[in-house]
Amino acid sequence: MNDLKKNENRKKNFIGSIKESFSGRKFRSGAYVTATSAVVIAIVIIINMIVSQLGLQADLTSKKLYTLSDETIDFVKDIKEDITIYMLAETGNEDTDFQRIAKEYEKLSDHIHFVPKDPILYPKFASEYTDKEISQNSFIVVNDETGRSKYLDYNDLVVTEFDYNTYKSKITGYDVEGEMTSALQFVTNPDLPKMYVIKGHGEGEVSEVFKSSMDRLNVQVEDLEILKTESVPEDCNILYINTPTMDFSEEEVDRIKNYMMAGGNAIITLDYTCEKLTNFKSLLDYYGVKVTDGILVEGDNNMHLPNYPNFLVPDVVKHDITNQVIDDKVYVITPVASGLTISDTTRSSLTVAPLLQTSDAAYAKQNIHADTTSKEKGDIEGPFYIGLLASDTYNGVTSNMAVFSAKMMFDDNLIQGYGNGNLLSGTIGYMSGDKAPISIASKSIAADHIYVTQQQGILWGALVILVLPVFILVTGVVVNLKRRKR
C-alpha cells in the first residue's frame, strides 16, 4: 500500500511540476521570446517577398561592385538612341555579377535594353557584329538605329594577376562598367579622338597595355612618319612623341609647331638622353619647358620607392588632368626621370602649369655612371618638375603640350599597377575637349595593396621591431609589480 501511495504522490508531483513549468515566470518569459521571434521571422519573410516581387536590390559590397559611377549615370541618362546590350552566355551559366551590372544600365534609361543570347541556341548571331571568337559571358553593344556595334570579350571585363604560388592567373577585379560605358560611347559617337604616334627618331615602342588603354578610351591610334609628310594630318587630335633618341630635323619641328599653332595637342615623354637633341629641345623651349641635365635623385625618403631613390613618387599637383589620380588616392611612379623647369622668359600668350613635382631635397645627378646615388659636387639642386602642361592661346585658339620627363612613364606595369594610367587618361580627356572619353576605373575584388615609401617603411619597421616589443615588456613589468603589491 505504501508503495502505491508513493507512486501516486510521484505522479502528482510530476504532473504538478509540469503545470508549474507552464505557468511560471520562466515559461511566460520564454513564450514571449518565442512569440516575438516568430513575429520577427514572419516580418522578415514578408519583407523579403515584397522586395523580391518589386525587384529591389541593395549593393552592400564594400567597393560598390554593382553601383555605377556618377560619370556613367550622367552619360547614360543623356543617350537618345535605342541601344541593346546582348549578353552572350549559355543558359544557366551566366555570370550573375556581370548580368547584374549590365542590368543597371537598363534601369537608368528607357533607351537601353538588356537581352541575353545563348550562343548555342543562336550560333550565328554574334557573327553579324564581329568576326572574333566569342567567349562565354561576353557582350555585344549595338546601336539599333545606326547599326554601330562593339564586342566586349570576357577577358577584357576582368582584371587578372599572376599568382606565383599557384603559377596561375587569378581574377582580382572587374572592369565591366569601364568597358560597357566605353562601348556605349563608341556606338553613340562616331566622331572620336584620333592620336598619331610619331616614328622615325628611335622612339620607344608603344606598349600593348598603352594600345589597350587607348582602345578602351575609344581613341584611334595611327603611326606618323612626319619626315615623309608635308604636315600633320588634319584629323589629328593628339600627337604622341615617345622618348626620341635621335634628333628631329628643323622641317619636322616646324611642321609640329604649325600643327600646334592651329590648336593642336601633344603628349611628350623624354629622358636624360634628350640633352643632345638640339632641334627637339628647341620645340620644348618654344613652349617654355627646359630640361635639366642628369638623372633625378629624390633626397626625401617619403617621396621615392624603398631603396630606389631614382624611382620617384612625386607630388601630384591639383589640375583637371590630375583629378582622377588625386580622387583615387593612387601614387604616380616616375623611374629614372629628368628634371624639368619653366623658362623665366615666356611670351604673354603662354602659360605653363605644373602637374608633378619633386621635393626641395631632390637633385639632378650629373655623373649618371657614379657608384653612389648620394649627392656629389656638381649635382644640381632641386626642386624640379616631372610633369608640365604648356598652353598657348593665340587669336582665340589654344594648343596644349604635356611633357613628362620619364621614359618608362607609360610602360605596362606603371599604367596597370599605379596612378600613371589615371594620369594618361586624364591627359587624353583634357586634350580631347568635346570628344573627351569617359574613363571609369576597374573595381578590385581582391584585398587592397598597401604601397609604402622608404620613410614609411622605416617608421613601420621601427614600430613593429622596437616600439611594440618595448610596450609589451613595460606593460608586463607594470602588471607584475601591481600583482606583487597585492
Task: Encode pLDDT of 278-297 as tens digits.
Answer: 999 999 999 999 999 999 99
Distance CA 107, CA 114 (A): 10
- DSSP structure string for 265-328: EEEEE--GGGGG-HHHHHHHHHTTEEEESSEEE---GGGEETTEEEEE-PEEPPSTTTHHHHHH
C-alpha cell at 308: 630606389
Can you give the pLDDT at residue 53? 52
Q: Report which DSSP code applies to 406.
A: B
Pick the closest to residue 408 from 161, 226, 210 (CA basis): 210
Please report where in the chains the cell 596644349 appears, as a residue.
400
Can you give the pLDDT at residue 19? 56
Distance CA 140, CA 111 (A): 16
Label residue 475 by pLDDT band (50, 70, 90): confident
Please report where in the chains the cell 634628333 appears, as a residue.
247
Distance CA 184, CA 211 (A): 19
C-alpha cell at 333: 611612379
Please report where in the chains the cell 598657348 appears, as a residue.
392
Main-chain phi, psi angles of 42, to 5 degrees: -65, -40
Alpha helix ranges (H) inside 323-384: 323-328
C-alpha cell at 321: 588632368
In this predicted structure, the answer to whether residue 60 has a pLDDT above a threshold of 80 is no
Burial of 345 (0-12, 13-18, 19+ CB in 10 A): exposed
User: Which residues touch 190 (CB under 8 Å, ≥6 apart)?
Assistant: 146, 148
Can you give the pLDDT at residue 180? 94
Give residue 340's identity as a one-letter amino acid code: L
C-alpha cell at 163: 599568382
Pick the closest to residue 399 from 350, 462, 455 (CA basis): 350
Q: What is the CATH number of domain 194-435?
A: 3.40.50.880
Can you give the pLDDT at residue 446? 61
Pick the closest to residue 205 from 248, 246, 242 (CA basis): 242
C-alpha cell at 472: 609589451
Can you give the pLDDT at residue 474? 79
In this predicted structure, the answer to whether residue 200 has a pLDDT above a threshold of 90 is yes
Q: Cα dist. 469→189, 216, 474, 480, 483 in Å? A: 62, 50, 9, 16, 21
Label residue 26 by pLDDT band (50, 70, 90): low
Q: Report which DSSP code applies to 242.
A: E
List 223's β-bridge partners, or say none. 197
Can you give the pLDDT at residue 16? 58
Q: Which residue has the higher pLDDT, 480 or 126?
A: 126
Report, as an integer, the average pLDDT of 420-441.
83
Q: Which residue has the higher pLDDT, 459 or 215?
A: 215
Can you give the pLDDT at residue 360? 95
Chain-wide mean pLDDT for the chain? 85
C-alpha cell at 327: 580622387
List 238's β-bridge partners, or say none. 195
Report, as an integer, the average pLDDT of 57-71.
68
Q: Cα dist. 122→118, 128, 410, 448 in Å? A: 6, 11, 41, 41
In this predicted structure, the answer to whether residue 13 has a pLDDT above a threshold of 70 is no
- The structural architecture, per CATH, of the domain 70-171 is 3-Layer(aba) Sandwich (3.40)
Main-chain phi, psi angles of 339, to 5 degrees: -90, 135
Label residue 479 by pLDDT band (50, 70, 90): confident
Can you give the pLDDT at residue 188? 92
Can you give the pLDDT at residue 33? 63
Q: Cα dist. 234→256, 273, 298, 437 in Å? A: 12, 31, 42, 20
User: Which residues touch 456 (CB under 8 Å, ≥6 apart)?
Assistant: 302
C-alpha cell at 337: 626621370
Across 171-185, 248-262, 442-456, the highest mean pLDDT is recorded for 248-262
Indicate if the alpha-carbon torsion angle 450, 453, 457, 463 is positive or negative.
negative
Rg (CA), the chain: 33
Label residue 455 by pLDDT band (50, 70, 90): low
Can you give the pLDDT at residue 280? 96
Main-chain phi, psi angles of 424, to 5 degrees: -65, -50
In this predicted structure, the answer to whether residue 244 has a pLDDT above a threshold of 60 is yes
Pick the closest to residue 423 from 292, 239, 291, 267 (CA basis): 267
Report, as an integer, the average pLDDT of 316-339.
92
In this predicted structure, the answer to whether residue 460 has a pLDDT above a threshold of 90 is no
Distance CA 177, CA 59 (A): 15
User: In the chain, what percentage of residues exceed pLDDT 90?
Assistant: 55
Label residue 137 by pLDDT band (50, 70, 90): very high
pLDDT digits over 80-104, tens only?
A: 999 999 999 999 999 999 999 999 9
Distance CA 266, CA 247 (A): 17
Cβ atoms 352, 382 nearer than 8 A:
no
Q: Reduced to 3 states, what is the DSSP secondary structure of residue 15? A: helix
Can you give the pLDDT at residue 303? 92
Can you give the pLDDT at residue 29? 61
Pick the closest to residue 356 from 392, 391, 331 (CA basis): 331
Indicate if the alpha-carbon torsion angle 291, 297, 299, 302 is positive or negative.
positive
Q: How many residues does the chain have?
A: 486
Determine the Cα angle at 303 with ends 297 and 308, to 5°.
Answer: 50
Cβ atoms 193, 237 nearer than 8 A:
yes
